[in-house]
Amino acid sequence: MRLSKQTNYAVRTLVYCAVNEPGLSRVSDIARTYAISEMFLFKIILPVAKNGLIETVRGRRGGVRLARPAGQINLADVFRITEESFALSECMEHDSDSCPLRGHCLYTQALDRALAAFMAVIGEYTIADLAQNAHTLEAVLGISKLEKRPSAIRWGGRLGTAALSLRGGSTE
């Protein structure tokens, strides 16, 4: 069994958002951090948002954020949204009637049990668990404290006095 890139980047995006809470995470920043295209990331975000794990905010200062607390998003939920199939073998697929042993085979039963055990263990982990070392992850992901503060978005924050003088504001 191998998880898809969509699943891996969906989990990574959720972790990024958890580490960046309470701020909004810009899609361009996430894509740059993980060295993937914004288009690919949008394709990943769409089903995750549609299923209530990520909230999207439109506009100039928009972005994405977790739609519910990180501790309420478990990995099994993410996998179910992003994986097309969990069939470990051809005979486990729903439309597979080609095997005369279907329903009587210990091989299929063993694979079913293995998959159930895998999902049970994955279901024990939440995005909060993966983001518990937030300070280290902030540094690794390149998330600065200024980006996390709502007042630090663009003009009043990272661009500082140079931006204020360009806007005609006071620098004192």
Q: What gap in Å lies between CA 90 and CA 12, rounded to an integer? A: 29
- Positive or negative: CA dihedral 167, 142, 67, 64: positive
Tell whether the model's pLDDT for residue 51 goes beyond 60.
yes
For the chain, percent of residues with pLDDT exceeding 90: 41
DSSP H or E run through 77: helix 75-82
Computed over its alpha carbons, how large is the radius of gyration of the chain? 21
Residue 155 vs residue 130, higher pLDDT: 130
Residue-level pLDDT at 98: 66
- Positive or negative: CA dihedral 38, 44, 49, 55: negative
Tell whether the model's pLDDT for residue 151 goes beyond 90.
no
* Class of domain 5-86+125-141 as given by CATH: mainly alpha
> How confident is the model over 83-112, as pLDDT tens digits?
877 766 666 666 556 677 666 778 878 888
- Helix (H), strand (E) counts: the chain: 9, 2
Residue-level pLDDT at 122: 92
- Positive or negative: CA dihedral 12, 64, 20, 40: positive
Domain ranges of the chain: 5-86+125-141, 146-172
pTM: 0.74
Residue-level pLDDT at 167: 39
Check whether the bond before 22 is cis (ω within 30° of 0).
yes
Mean pLDDT for the chain overall? 78
> How confident is the model over 3-36, as pLDDT tens digits?
889 999 999 999 999 998 888 899 999 999 999 9
